[in-house]
Structure 1
Amino acid sequence: MARHKIKNPVSQQTPSSSSSSSSSTATMTNNLDDTIVGIPTVQFLNHKTNHGDVNETSAANNLSSNDVINVSSSQLSKSNDLVVNDENIINEDSNNKFSHNNSHISSISNNLHQETSTLASPTTSCNKSSSPLSLLSTTLFSSTSSSSWRISKQISLIFLSSTTILSRAKQYLSSLRPGTFFTSLIPVLMGTILASKTSGGQFSWIILLATLLTVLSVHAAGNLVNTYCDFVRGIDSKRQSDDRTLVDSILTPEEVVNLGVLFYFIGCIGFLVVAIQSPARMELLAFIYFGGLSSSFLYTGGIGLKYIALGDIIIMITFGPVSVLYSFIAQTGTIRLVTLLYAIPLALNTEAILHSNNTRDIDVDRRAGCVTIAMLIGYRLSHVLFALLLFIPYILFVVGALNYSLWFLLPLITLPKAFELERRFRYKQLKSIPRQMARLNFYFGMFYLFACFMSPAHKLPGLLPRL
């Protein structure tokens, strides 16, 4: 390795300091000489101007000259002391700088030595290894660990983003209130079953799926309109509301409106598919579809039929006869008014859900300026109406079982639950009745669908001539 000489800072700085001290000493000596030479000149001039006693003046002048010489000598000695002190300070500074430079150089050399030993250690370990596989394994391990760390970091970021997207999707889904969709699903399936019974068991899956898309989209959009209008009118509040979408700020009002428009648009796309695939005339399908769409909007939007005691009628028509008739016509292309008979149990049971909810919220609706049938007729008659809506379908099933098919007794499995809900309604235990009534409606509708599906076509009232 090449060696570099390091010059001593003291040797570089000492000549300059000595030259400066010598020049200062010479300057002070010249000043002293000038002072000594100048004194007799002044005395001589005084001697020529003053004609006094020459001897006395000369003696005095000689005495003062001796004093000046003594003072100048003392100043010269002090100057020499200052020069010595300056030289000592310069030497101390030089020594400090030299020691600092030496320590800095030693620290740099130590760092270089450590880095060299660090770089040399893998080579040494590799040289000590008996097989080149150790070097390969070490390289692979280091690269694998770094790449696995990057992959795990990317996976964690993807997981966090997917979790955020999933939670947001759940919020949007809950705003649609999917727990109420079966009130639209069951009538569509009922119309499809009746259509298959009249056509020898044949039906189109494409039309069925498009019909479900159409009806469920309109239902979801209607729920969003209801959420928005009830919130704006002050009917829904944090203290009392089953729909928490806006009162808990899960979504903003603008998001609810945009989502409602989106689902109305999806419903129109589904309607176009049905109109293309169905043998029915497009004008007839459009009349039924846009009638249902208008009802879903006007229930709380626009004039707000719900707020003027007409909401119950709209619900009974939309979630019963309209849905069953629409799906039946979409499959067969014909109108059979007897299908409205099969929609009656579904419409009454669905209206029982809404009526129990309105009876529970009489005070809230009155404060908000909303008018419902339950508010108009009072609690006692509301209980009577609820009992009629609840038990008339079971009476129809018994009549159907006695005159047509015993399969119509199947929905009577849910009758004990119906009696329990009626009793709780009678004793004003209304808080949980709408939710339990919705659960009853689901099982009630599924048993009803299964009964119609299992019954022979000639034993279903009005569809085919009886044998």
Structure 2
Amino acid sequence: MEEEETFVSKTSNKSKPDKKSSNFKLKTYLSAIRPWSLSGSLVPTILGSTLAYRSAESSNYSPAICLLTVFTVVTVHCAGNVVNTYFDFVKGIDNRKADDRLLVDNILTKDEVVSLGALLYFSSCVGFISMSLISSAKMEHLALVYFGGLSSSFLYTGGIGFKYIALGDVVILIIFGPLSVLFAFMAQTGHVDWNTIYFAMPLALNTEAILHSNNTRDAVDDKKAGIITLAIVIGKSASHILYALLLFTPYSVFVVFGIKYSFWFLLPLITIPQAFKIEKQFRNESTMSIVPKQTAKLNFFFGLLYVVACCFATLPSFIKM
């Protein structure tokens, strides 16, 4: 009788789904998309929507388009992160010392990473199609910007591999700045306004600081793997200077805007103490490893304060009001 109860107990345990295993797998997939880095695409997209709301076409503003635009852009970013993980491992760049452990430690298989990337790209395409159906912008204009961003997210490490030939910084500056802001603005208003690029640049520089800190941290291992990044080309000392410029130049822009146009533009200056703290960590080898995530965290709060400023400030005459 006891043997029968034991058998039934074992059988019933096998039939139940392993919740712990499922939760672990979900957390692993979330880790694969690098959620800490997503402020780089989220904030510029929100900024573009905010500028559209403040523009002359604000009467046509659609919250649904805003949500679909955010979903579309962020899922492309997530997919690009997954592609990055895959090709860094396949090309032997990620090793036992690498920060990204998913494939190195066999937490996920290569097939699982490929499937996740494909799912994210597919989801982004669904979001884009849904958004374009209700947007007043021409489909071909939206498609040109969208597929330009999508292909760049793949080619960053796949195919040409811009990251490996010292062009990754250029790609990041364009995508996570002007392109995202322009895409969100165009989706809402139905037309292109190249002047939105001026508003995008402070965010683009701050986002580039995330990438540059990551590449500077990994410069030794990247050089051994035979790839070339800007951090390797210019060396450690120049990398420190460049990081400081990327981090603090936007604040200088806000001071000028604050004095000339509206004090609301001084709002992001609240984050300056944290920026100085991170810059100090960047120059210290023992704390260098945490700088990319700290910079991304700064980028998020810095960007949100900038968006709030754009909501209430008297905007420069770049955008038709």
TM-score calculated relative to the size of structure 1: 0.64
Give the match for residue 267 of structure 1.
124
Give a deviation string over 1:370-409, Cα, whole Å, max 9, x none: 1011101111111111111111100000011011111110
Partner of 2:241: 384
Q: For 1:237 and 1:317, locate their aligned partners in 2 and report how far apart those are by CA, in whole Å.
A: 29
Out of 371-380 and 418-427, give the one that drifted further.
418-427
Listed one character per residue, the Cα deviations across residues 33-58 of structure 1 (whole Å, up to 9, x for unaligned) are xxxxxxxxxxxxxxxxxxxxxxxxxx
Matching residue's letter, 1:203: Y
Structure 2 match to 1:443? 301
Letter aligned with residue 73 of structure 2: V
Contact 1:236 1:243 in 2 (8 A): yes
The answer to whether 1:462 aligns with 2:312 is: no
1:1-56 Cα distance to aligned partner (Å, 9 max, x none)? xxxxxxxxxxxxxxxxxxxxxxxxxxxxxxxxxxxxxxxxxxxxxxxxxxxxxxxx
Deviation, 1:425, is 2.7
**Cα distance in 2 for residues equivalent to 1:200 and 1:440:** 30
Q: Output the CA distance in 1 between the equivalents of 2:44 and 2:265.
A: 17
What is the match of residue 304 of structure 1?
161
Q: Once the 2 structures are TM-superposed, how far is the Cα of residue 160 of structure 1 from its aligned partner?
A: 4.8
Residue type at the aligned position of 2:319: L
Cα pair 1:190 1:324 within 8 Å, conserved? yes
Alignment-derived partner of residue 400 in structure 1 = 257
Query: Among residues 203, 220, 224, which one is paired with 2:61 in the alignment?
Result: 203
Alignment of 1:12-31 (within 5 A): none
Q: Does 1:180 align with 2:12?
A: no
CA offset at residue 159 of structure 1? 6.9
- Alignment partner of 1:375 is 2:256: no
Mean Cα deviation higher: 326-335 or 177-186:
177-186
Residues 409 and 158 (structure 1), Cα distance of their counterparts in 2 relative to 1, 3 Å cut: farther
Q: Give structure 1 regions of 4+ aligned residues with deviation exceeding 6 angstroms.
A: 156-159
> In structure 2, which of residues 23, 36, 60 is the aligned counterpart of residue 166 of structure 1?
23
Counterpart of 2:5? none
What is the CA–CA distance in structure 1 between the aligned matches of 2:63 and 2:116, rounded to whole Å? 28
Q: Does 1:314 align with 2:171?
A: yes
How far apart in 2 are the matches of 1:218 and 1:196?
Answer: 24
Higher mean alpha-carbon deviation, 197-206 vs 372-381, is at: 197-206
Distance 1:453 1:201, change over 3 A: farther
Counterpart of 2:293, as a letter, is: R
Question: Distance in 2 between the 1:389 and 1:164 partners?
Answer: 42
Question: Which amino acid counterpart does residue 22 of structure 2 have in structure 1?
Answer: I
Structure 2 partner of 1:189: 46
Give the C-alpha shift of residue 432 in structure 1: 1.8
**1:216–1:279 CA distance, 2 compared to 1 (3 A):** same
> Alpha-carbon deviation of 1:161?
3.4
In the alignment, which residue of structure 1 is the partner of 2:196? 339
Q: What is residue 73 of structure 2 aligned with on the other side? A: 215
Higher deviation after alignment, 177-186 or 299-308:
177-186
Count the aligned residue pairs: 310
CA distances 1:417-459 after superposition (whole Å, capped 9, x unpaired): 1122223333444222112111111111111111111224xx3
Structure 2 Cα separation of the partners of residues 454 and 157 of structure 1: 58
Residues 139-166 of structure 1 show CA distances to partners (whole Å, capped at 9, x for unaligned) of xxxxxxxxxxx9xx97x77875344323
1:250-290 Cα deviation digits (max 9, x unpaired): 11001101111111111111111121111010110010000
Q: Greater relative contact order: 1 or 2 (C-alpha under 8 angstroms, separation 6 or more)? A: 2
- Are 1:404 and 1:461, in contact at CA under 8 Å, matched by a contact in 2? no
Identity of aligned residues (%): 52
Q: What is the SS of the residue equivalent to 2:288?
A: coil
Q: CA RMSD of the aligned region, Å? A: 1.9
The one-letter code of the counterpart of 1:212 is V
The alignment partner of 1:271 has SS state of: helix
Q: Provide the rounded CA distance (Å) in 2 between the counterparts of 1:261 and 1:323.
A: 21
Structure 2 length-normalised TM: 0.91
Aligned position for 1:350: 207
Within the candidate set 128, 139, 154, 1:282 is matched to 139
1:230-245 aligned at under 5 Å gives the runs 230-238=88-96, 240-245=97-102
Q: 2-side partners of 1:193 and 1:436: how far apart?
A: 26
Corresponding residue for residue 3 of structure 2: none
Distance in 2 of aligned mates of 1:379 and 1:161 = 48
SS at match of 1:246: coil
Structure 2 unaligned spans of 5+? 1-7
Q: How does 1:359-374 map to 2 (within 5 A)?
A: 359-374=216-231
Match for 2:193: what amino acid?
R
Name the SS of the counterpart of 1:370 in structure 2. Answer: coil
CA distance in 1, matches of 2:16, 2:311: 45
Residue 45 of structure 1: aligned partner: none
Whole-Å separation in 1 of the counterparts to 2:141 and 2:320: 24
| Corresponding residue SS for 1:431 | helix
Query: 1:416 is matched with which residue?
Result: 273
